[in-house]
Amino acid sequence: MVKVTIQDFKSIHNVEIELGSVNVMVGANGVGKSALLEAVGILSAAVSGEVGDESLLRRGVRLGTPELYKSSFSNGERLSNTLNVGVHLELDENIFDYRVHLQNPSKNPSPYWKYFSEQLERNGEKVFGRSRASRLQLYGIQDIDVIDEKGWLAFIQGIGPEKESPGDVRTFYEYLRHYSIFSPTTLVLRGLASDSTQREPLGLLGGRLPEVVADLLNNEKEEFGSLMMDELLELLDWVDAIKVGPPNKGNLSSSVSLGRQTIIFTDTFMRDNRNELTSYDASEGALYVLFLLSLAMHPKTPSIFSVDNFDQALNPRLARKLTKVFAEKVIAHNKRAIVTTHNPLVLDGLDLENDSIRLFTVNRDKRTGNTHVERIIIDENLRKLGKQGYTLSRLWLEGRLGGVPDL
Protein backbone atom coordinates (compact mmCIF):
# COMPACT_ATOMS: atom_id res chain seq x y z
CA MET A 1 0.00 0.00 0.00
CA VAL A 2 1.13 3.54 -0.75
CA LYS A 3 -0.58 6.50 0.93
CA VAL A 4 0.64 9.95 -0.10
CA THR A 5 -0.06 13.12 1.89
CA ILE A 6 0.27 16.57 0.29
CA GLN A 7 -0.17 19.90 2.06
CA ASP A 8 0.07 23.49 0.84
CA PHE A 9 1.31 22.85 -2.70
CA LYS A 10 -0.31 24.97 -5.41
CA SER A 11 -4.09 24.34 -5.22
CA ILE A 12 -3.65 21.40 -2.82
CA HIS A 13 -4.28 22.47 0.77
CA ASN A 14 -4.51 19.03 2.37
CA VAL A 15 -4.97 15.83 0.36
CA GLU A 16 -4.33 12.19 1.22
CA ILE A 17 -4.45 9.57 -1.54
CA GLU A 18 -4.23 5.82 -1.04
CA LEU A 19 -2.83 4.45 -4.28
CA GLY A 20 -3.29 1.10 -5.94
CA SER A 21 -1.01 -0.30 -8.65
CA VAL A 22 -2.81 1.54 -11.47
CA ASN A 23 -4.32 4.92 -10.61
CA VAL A 24 -6.29 7.05 -13.07
CA MET A 25 -7.05 10.70 -12.31
CA VAL A 26 -9.88 12.48 -14.13
CA GLY A 27 -11.14 16.01 -13.72
CA ALA A 28 -11.73 19.32 -15.44
CA ASN A 29 -8.85 21.43 -16.69
CA GLY A 30 -7.15 23.35 -13.90
CA VAL A 31 -8.37 21.29 -10.94
CA GLY A 32 -4.88 20.13 -9.92
CA LYS A 33 -4.37 16.73 -11.56
CA SER A 34 -0.86 17.55 -12.75
CA ALA A 35 -0.09 19.18 -9.40
CA LEU A 36 -0.79 15.84 -7.71
CA LEU A 37 1.77 14.14 -9.95
CA GLU A 38 4.25 16.95 -9.30
CA ALA A 39 3.82 16.71 -5.54
CA VAL A 40 4.95 13.08 -5.72
CA GLY A 41 7.90 14.34 -7.78
CA ILE A 42 8.80 16.76 -4.97
CA LEU A 43 8.54 13.88 -2.49
CA SER A 44 10.88 11.80 -4.67
CA ALA A 45 13.38 14.66 -4.90
CA ALA A 46 13.28 15.12 -1.12
CA VAL A 47 13.93 11.41 -0.59
CA SER A 48 16.85 11.67 -3.01
CA GLY A 49 18.47 14.38 -0.91
CA GLU A 50 17.96 17.66 -2.75
CA VAL A 51 15.00 19.76 -3.88
CA GLY A 52 16.07 22.26 -6.53
CA ASP A 53 15.42 23.06 -10.16
CA GLU A 54 17.67 20.31 -11.52
CA SER A 55 16.29 17.52 -9.32
CA LEU A 56 12.70 18.59 -10.04
CA LEU A 57 13.19 19.02 -13.78
CA ARG A 58 14.72 15.56 -14.17
CA ARG A 59 11.55 14.14 -12.60
CA GLY A 60 9.25 16.04 -14.95
CA VAL A 61 8.08 18.62 -12.42
CA ARG A 62 7.30 22.04 -13.89
CA LEU A 63 9.65 24.58 -12.40
CA GLY A 64 8.21 27.46 -10.41
CA THR A 65 9.04 29.96 -7.71
CA PRO A 66 8.32 29.31 -4.02
CA GLU A 67 5.65 32.01 -4.31
CA LEU A 68 3.80 29.88 -6.89
CA TYR A 69 4.55 26.49 -5.31
CA LYS A 70 3.21 27.34 -1.86
CA SER A 71 -0.57 27.62 -1.62
CA SER A 72 -1.95 31.16 -1.39
CA PHE A 73 -5.73 30.88 -1.13
CA SER A 74 -7.63 34.16 -0.81
CA ASN A 75 -10.03 32.93 1.88
CA GLY A 76 -8.24 34.63 4.75
CA GLU A 77 -6.28 31.60 6.00
CA ARG A 78 -2.71 32.21 7.11
CA LEU A 79 -0.20 31.48 4.36
CA SER A 80 1.89 28.41 5.07
CA ASN A 81 5.61 28.87 5.55
CA THR A 82 6.37 25.35 4.31
CA LEU A 83 5.38 22.87 1.63
CA ASN A 84 4.69 19.46 3.18
CA VAL A 85 4.69 15.97 1.65
CA GLY A 86 4.75 12.50 3.15
CA VAL A 87 4.27 8.86 2.31
CA HIS A 88 3.13 5.71 4.12
CA LEU A 89 4.60 2.77 2.22
CA GLU A 90 4.32 -0.97 2.82
CA LEU A 91 7.31 -2.56 1.12
CA ASP A 92 8.99 -5.96 1.54
CA GLU A 93 7.21 -6.74 4.83
CA ASN A 94 8.17 -3.36 6.28
CA ILE A 95 6.04 -0.28 6.88
CA PHE A 96 7.73 3.06 6.27
CA ASP A 97 6.46 6.51 7.18
CA TYR A 98 8.38 9.45 5.76
CA ARG A 99 7.45 13.11 6.22
CA VAL A 100 9.24 16.25 5.15
CA HIS A 101 8.49 19.97 5.48
CA LEU A 102 10.32 22.10 2.92
CA GLN A 103 10.97 25.81 3.25
CA ASN A 104 12.01 28.49 0.77
CA PRO A 105 11.25 32.21 1.24
CA SER A 106 9.00 33.86 -1.32
CA LYS A 107 11.23 36.94 -1.26
CA ASN A 108 14.86 36.35 -2.24
CA PRO A 109 14.35 32.59 -2.75
CA SER A 110 17.23 30.14 -2.61
CA PRO A 111 18.06 27.81 -5.55
CA TYR A 112 17.40 24.90 -3.18
CA TRP A 113 14.57 24.25 -0.76
CA LYS A 114 15.63 23.76 2.86
CA TYR A 115 14.58 20.77 4.94
CA PHE A 116 12.67 22.48 7.75
CA SER A 117 11.92 19.06 9.24
CA GLU A 118 12.32 15.46 8.08
CA GLN A 119 11.44 12.15 9.72
CA LEU A 120 11.50 8.47 8.81
CA GLU A 121 9.91 5.63 10.77
CA ARG A 122 10.16 1.94 10.03
CA ASN A 123 7.56 -0.39 11.54
CA GLY A 124 6.59 2.34 14.00
CA GLU A 125 10.14 2.99 15.24
CA LYS A 126 12.01 6.17 14.42
CA VAL A 127 14.98 5.73 12.08
CA PHE A 128 15.78 9.43 12.30
CA GLY A 129 14.14 12.79 12.78
CA ARG A 130 15.36 16.30 12.27
CA SER A 131 14.31 19.86 12.81
CA ARG A 132 16.09 23.15 12.27
CA ALA A 133 17.73 22.83 15.70
CA SER A 134 18.84 19.17 15.60
CA ARG A 135 22.00 17.42 14.47
CA LEU A 136 22.37 13.91 13.12
CA GLN A 137 23.38 11.15 15.55
CA LEU A 138 23.52 7.79 13.86
CA TYR A 139 25.48 4.53 13.92
CA GLY A 140 27.53 5.66 16.92
CA ILE A 141 28.79 8.76 15.10
CA GLN A 142 27.94 11.88 17.09
CA ASP A 143 26.93 15.37 16.00
CA ILE A 144 27.22 15.18 12.23
CA ASP A 145 26.44 18.44 10.49
CA VAL A 146 24.19 18.09 7.43
CA ILE A 147 23.31 21.39 5.77
CA ASP A 148 19.64 22.35 5.55
CA GLU A 149 19.56 21.92 1.75
CA LYS A 150 20.48 18.22 1.98
CA GLY A 151 18.16 15.38 3.00
CA TRP A 152 19.16 12.99 5.75
CA LEU A 153 17.57 9.94 4.17
CA ALA A 154 19.89 10.23 1.19
CA PHE A 155 22.86 11.07 3.43
CA ILE A 156 22.59 7.97 5.62
CA GLN A 157 22.74 5.68 2.59
CA GLY A 158 26.46 6.40 2.39
CA ILE A 159 27.50 6.07 6.03
CA GLY A 160 27.59 3.36 8.65
CA PRO A 161 28.59 -0.28 8.32
CA GLU A 162 26.14 -2.46 6.44
CA LYS A 163 25.60 -4.66 9.50
CA GLU A 164 24.62 -1.62 11.60
CA SER A 165 22.59 0.33 9.09
CA PRO A 166 18.98 -0.63 8.31
CA GLY A 167 19.52 -2.15 4.88
CA ASP A 168 15.81 -2.29 4.10
CA VAL A 169 15.71 1.51 4.39
CA ARG A 170 17.72 1.52 1.17
CA THR A 171 14.88 -0.43 -0.47
CA PHE A 172 12.50 2.38 0.49
CA TYR A 173 14.98 4.97 -0.76
CA GLU A 174 15.53 3.23 -4.11
CA TYR A 175 11.80 2.66 -4.62
CA LEU A 176 10.92 6.36 -4.47
CA ARG A 177 13.96 8.20 -5.79
CA HIS A 178 13.53 7.18 -9.44
CA TYR A 179 9.93 8.43 -9.74
CA SER A 180 9.31 10.47 -12.89
CA ILE A 181 6.43 12.11 -14.76
CA PHE A 182 6.43 11.01 -18.40
CA SER A 183 4.86 13.22 -21.08
CA PRO A 184 5.86 11.80 -24.47
CA THR A 185 5.83 14.11 -27.48
CA THR A 186 5.45 13.09 -31.10
CA LEU A 187 8.61 14.79 -32.39
CA VAL A 188 10.78 13.01 -29.83
CA LEU A 189 9.07 9.65 -30.40
CA ARG A 190 9.66 10.01 -34.13
CA GLY A 191 13.34 10.76 -33.53
CA LEU A 192 13.12 14.27 -34.98
CA ALA A 193 13.92 16.08 -31.72
CA SER A 194 16.18 15.30 -28.80
CA ASP A 195 14.79 14.57 -25.35
CA SER A 196 15.67 17.42 -22.99
CA THR A 197 14.84 15.18 -20.02
CA GLN A 198 16.62 11.99 -21.02
CA ARG A 199 16.62 9.25 -18.38
CA GLU A 200 17.84 5.69 -18.34
CA PRO A 201 16.40 3.73 -20.05
CA LEU A 202 13.56 5.94 -21.37
CA GLY A 203 13.37 9.73 -21.60
CA LEU A 204 10.44 11.61 -20.10
CA LEU A 205 9.51 12.91 -23.57
CA GLY A 206 10.05 9.56 -25.30
CA GLY A 207 13.80 9.61 -25.95
CA ARG A 208 15.57 6.29 -26.67
CA LEU A 209 12.31 4.53 -27.50
CA PRO A 210 13.95 2.46 -30.30
CA GLU A 211 16.60 1.15 -27.89
CA VAL A 212 13.99 0.25 -25.27
CA VAL A 213 11.78 -1.46 -27.86
CA ALA A 214 14.84 -3.41 -29.04
CA ASP A 215 15.43 -4.58 -25.44
CA LEU A 216 11.88 -5.94 -25.20
CA LEU A 217 11.51 -7.27 -28.74
CA ASN A 218 12.21 -10.96 -29.35
CA ASN A 219 11.07 -11.75 -32.88
CA GLU A 220 12.46 -15.27 -32.67
CA LYS A 221 10.08 -16.09 -29.81
CA GLU A 222 7.44 -13.70 -31.17
CA GLU A 223 7.40 -11.74 -27.93
CA PHE A 224 7.42 -8.10 -26.89
CA GLY A 225 8.34 -8.10 -23.22
CA SER A 226 5.78 -10.31 -21.51
CA LEU A 227 3.32 -9.83 -24.39
CA MET A 228 3.01 -12.22 -27.28
CA MET A 229 3.48 -10.37 -30.57
CA ASP A 230 -0.04 -11.35 -31.61
CA GLU A 231 -1.38 -9.51 -28.54
CA LEU A 232 0.62 -6.41 -29.42
CA LEU A 233 -0.43 -6.49 -33.07
CA GLU A 234 -4.09 -6.68 -32.04
CA LEU A 235 -3.62 -3.09 -30.88
CA LEU A 236 -2.00 -2.09 -34.19
CA ASP A 237 -4.18 -3.76 -36.79
CA TRP A 238 -2.32 -2.33 -39.79
CA VAL A 239 1.05 -3.68 -38.60
CA ASP A 240 2.34 -7.10 -39.65
CA ALA A 241 5.75 -6.95 -37.95
CA ILE A 242 7.99 -4.65 -35.91
CA LYS A 243 11.76 -4.44 -35.78
CA VAL A 244 14.47 -1.97 -34.80
CA GLY A 245 17.32 -1.04 -37.11
CA PRO A 246 19.13 1.80 -38.85
CA PRO A 247 17.09 3.94 -41.27
CA ASN A 248 17.97 3.50 -44.94
CA LYS A 249 17.32 5.24 -48.26
CA GLY A 250 14.55 2.81 -49.11
CA ASN A 251 12.30 3.82 -46.24
CA LEU A 252 13.32 7.40 -45.42
CA SER A 253 13.82 10.61 -47.37
CA SER A 254 17.42 11.80 -47.56
CA SER A 255 16.22 15.17 -46.26
CA VAL A 256 15.12 13.63 -42.96
CA SER A 257 17.66 12.94 -40.24
CA LEU A 258 16.84 10.35 -37.58
CA GLY A 259 19.03 8.71 -34.96
CA ARG A 260 21.19 5.68 -35.52
CA GLN A 261 18.26 3.39 -34.68
CA THR A 262 14.60 3.67 -35.58
CA ILE A 263 11.51 1.52 -35.17
CA ILE A 264 10.48 -0.08 -38.45
CA PHE A 265 6.88 -1.19 -39.00
CA THR A 266 5.81 -3.58 -41.75
CA ASP A 267 2.46 -2.48 -43.21
CA THR A 268 0.10 -5.43 -43.67
CA PHE A 269 -1.56 -3.95 -46.75
CA MET A 270 1.44 -2.83 -48.78
CA ARG A 271 3.52 -4.74 -51.34
CA ASP A 272 6.69 -6.55 -50.35
CA ASN A 273 9.84 -4.40 -50.58
CA ARG A 274 7.67 -1.26 -50.29
CA ASN A 275 5.91 -1.98 -47.05
CA GLU A 276 8.30 -0.69 -44.38
CA LEU A 277 7.67 2.53 -42.45
CA THR A 278 10.05 4.11 -39.96
CA SER A 279 8.96 5.96 -36.85
CA TYR A 280 9.06 9.13 -38.98
CA ASP A 281 6.20 7.97 -41.23
CA ALA A 282 4.30 5.58 -38.98
CA SER A 283 1.16 6.42 -37.04
CA GLU A 284 1.96 8.43 -33.92
CA GLY A 285 -0.58 6.28 -32.08
CA ALA A 286 1.60 3.21 -32.72
CA LEU A 287 4.58 5.00 -31.16
CA TYR A 288 2.54 5.96 -28.09
CA VAL A 289 1.39 2.35 -27.68
CA LEU A 290 4.98 1.11 -27.75
CA PHE A 291 6.08 3.85 -25.37
CA LEU A 292 3.40 3.13 -22.75
CA LEU A 293 3.84 -0.64 -22.87
CA SER A 294 7.62 -0.25 -22.67
CA LEU A 295 7.19 1.93 -19.60
CA ALA A 296 5.06 -0.77 -17.98
CA MET A 297 7.28 -3.74 -18.86
CA HIS A 298 10.93 -2.69 -19.10
CA PRO A 299 12.88 -3.87 -16.03
CA LYS A 300 14.79 -0.59 -15.71
CA THR A 301 11.89 1.87 -15.84
CA PRO A 302 10.91 3.33 -12.44
CA SER A 303 8.99 1.20 -9.96
CA ILE A 304 6.61 4.13 -9.50
CA PHE A 305 5.92 6.62 -12.28
CA SER A 306 3.29 8.94 -13.73
CA VAL A 307 2.03 9.66 -17.24
CA ASP A 308 0.41 13.03 -17.83
CA ASN A 309 -2.23 12.94 -20.61
CA PHE A 310 -2.17 9.16 -20.95
CA ASP A 311 -4.60 9.14 -23.89
CA GLN A 312 -2.62 11.55 -26.08
CA ALA A 313 -2.76 10.70 -29.83
CA LEU A 314 -4.89 7.60 -29.24
CA ASN A 315 -8.18 6.75 -30.91
CA PRO A 316 -10.77 6.34 -28.12
CA ARG A 317 -11.27 2.62 -28.77
CA LEU A 318 -7.52 2.04 -28.89
CA ALA A 319 -7.21 3.99 -25.63
CA ARG A 320 -9.78 1.69 -24.00
CA LYS A 321 -8.01 -1.51 -25.08
CA LEU A 322 -4.53 -0.16 -24.32
CA THR A 323 -5.65 0.88 -20.83
CA LYS A 324 -6.67 -2.72 -20.12
CA VAL A 325 -3.37 -4.16 -21.37
CA PHE A 326 -1.30 -1.42 -19.71
CA ALA A 327 -2.97 -2.05 -16.34
CA GLU A 328 -2.37 -5.80 -16.61
CA LYS A 329 1.32 -5.27 -17.37
CA VAL A 330 1.89 -2.67 -14.65
CA ILE A 331 0.50 -5.14 -12.10
CA ALA A 332 2.35 -8.13 -13.58
CA HIS A 333 5.68 -6.29 -13.46
CA ASN A 334 5.13 -5.04 -9.89
CA LYS A 335 5.12 -1.37 -10.82
CA ARG A 336 2.89 1.50 -9.77
CA ALA A 337 1.47 4.03 -12.24
CA ILE A 338 -0.45 7.28 -11.79
CA VAL A 339 -1.98 8.67 -14.98
CA THR A 340 -4.22 11.55 -15.98
CA THR A 341 -6.70 11.44 -18.84
CA HIS A 342 -9.50 13.36 -20.54
CA ASN A 343 -10.60 10.42 -22.69
CA PRO A 344 -13.83 8.86 -21.35
CA LEU A 345 -13.13 5.46 -22.92
CA VAL A 346 -9.97 5.07 -20.84
CA LEU A 347 -12.34 4.53 -17.91
CA ASP A 348 -14.01 1.65 -19.72
CA GLY A 349 -10.65 -0.13 -19.85
CA LEU A 350 -10.44 -0.21 -16.04
CA ASP A 351 -11.48 -3.26 -14.02
CA LEU A 352 -12.48 -1.44 -10.85
CA GLU A 353 -13.53 -4.71 -9.22
CA ASN A 354 -9.77 -5.28 -8.91
CA ASP A 355 -8.62 -3.29 -5.87
CA SER A 356 -5.21 -2.73 -7.48
CA ILE A 357 -6.87 -0.62 -10.19
CA ARG A 358 -8.29 2.68 -8.94
CA LEU A 359 -10.15 5.63 -10.40
CA PHE A 360 -10.06 9.06 -8.77
CA THR A 361 -12.04 12.18 -9.59
CA VAL A 362 -10.33 15.50 -8.95
CA ASN A 363 -12.31 18.68 -8.26
CA ARG A 364 -11.79 22.12 -6.76
CA ASP A 365 -13.96 23.42 -3.97
CA LYS A 366 -16.15 26.19 -5.39
CA ARG A 367 -15.77 28.30 -2.26
CA THR A 368 -12.12 27.87 -1.25
CA GLY A 369 -10.49 26.62 -4.46
CA ASN A 370 -8.90 23.68 -2.63
CA THR A 371 -8.23 20.57 -4.71
CA HIS A 372 -10.15 17.50 -3.54
CA VAL A 373 -9.59 13.90 -4.61
CA GLU A 374 -12.23 11.19 -4.33
CA ARG A 375 -11.85 7.52 -5.15
CA ILE A 376 -14.65 5.95 -7.18
CA ILE A 377 -15.49 2.57 -5.67
CA ILE A 378 -17.81 0.11 -7.38
CA ASP A 379 -20.79 -0.24 -5.04
CA GLU A 380 -24.21 -1.81 -5.47
CA ASN A 381 -25.60 1.35 -7.06
CA LEU A 382 -22.89 1.41 -9.74
CA ARG A 383 -23.28 -2.33 -10.33
CA LYS A 384 -27.02 -1.80 -10.83
CA LEU A 385 -26.37 1.00 -13.33
CA GLY A 386 -23.85 -1.23 -15.08
CA LYS A 387 -26.49 -3.91 -15.56
CA GLN A 388 -28.70 -1.24 -17.12
CA GLY A 389 -26.04 -0.55 -19.74
CA TYR A 390 -24.28 2.40 -18.13
CA THR A 391 -20.53 2.37 -18.73
CA LEU A 392 -18.05 4.30 -16.58
CA SER A 393 -17.45 6.65 -19.50
CA ARG A 394 -21.16 7.43 -19.77
CA LEU A 395 -21.49 7.95 -16.02
CA TRP A 396 -18.53 10.32 -16.05
CA LEU A 397 -19.79 12.35 -19.01
CA GLU A 398 -23.21 12.64 -17.38
CA GLY A 399 -21.56 14.05 -14.26
CA ARG A 400 -22.53 11.18 -11.97
CA LEU A 401 -18.94 10.51 -10.89
CA GLY A 402 -17.75 14.10 -10.49
CA GLY A 403 -14.58 15.37 -12.11
CA VAL A 404 -16.35 17.37 -14.84
CA PRO A 405 -16.70 21.14 -15.39
CA ASP A 406 -20.04 22.90 -14.90
CA LEU A 407 -20.69 23.64 -18.56
CA–CA gap between residue 347 and residue 343 (Å, rounded)? 8
Asked if residues 304 and 2 have their Cβ atoms less than 8 Å apart, the reply is: yes
pLDDT in tens, 113-161: 999 999 999 999 988 888 876 655 554 555 566 788 988 888 777 654 4
Identify the CA nearest to 290 among candidates 243, 353, 349: 243
298-338 tens-digit pLDDT: 999 999 999 999 998 899 999 999 999 999 999 999 999 99
pLDDT score of 258: 76
CA angle 51, 336, 341 (to 5 degrees): 90
Q: Which residues contact 45 (CB under 8 A, 6 or more apart)?
A: 51, 52, 55, 56, 59, 61
Alpha-carbon span 224 to 242, nearest angstrom: 10
pLDDT of residue 80: 87
Looking at the domain that runs over 2-179+302-398, which CATH code has it been given?
A: 3.40.50.300
- 3-state helix/strand/coil string of 236-290: CCCEEEEEEECCCCCCCCCCCCCCCCEEEEEECCCCCCCCEEECCCCCHHHHHHH
Q: What is the structure's pLDDT at 58?
A: 96
pTM for the whole structure: 0.94
Domain with CATH 3.40.50.300 in the chain: 2-179+302-398
Per-residue pLDDT, 136? 57
In the predicted model, residues of the chain with pLDDT beneath 50 are: 139, 160-165
323: left (phi over 0), alpha (psi -120 to 50) or beta: alpha
- Predicted local distance difference test score (pLDDT) of residue 159: 53
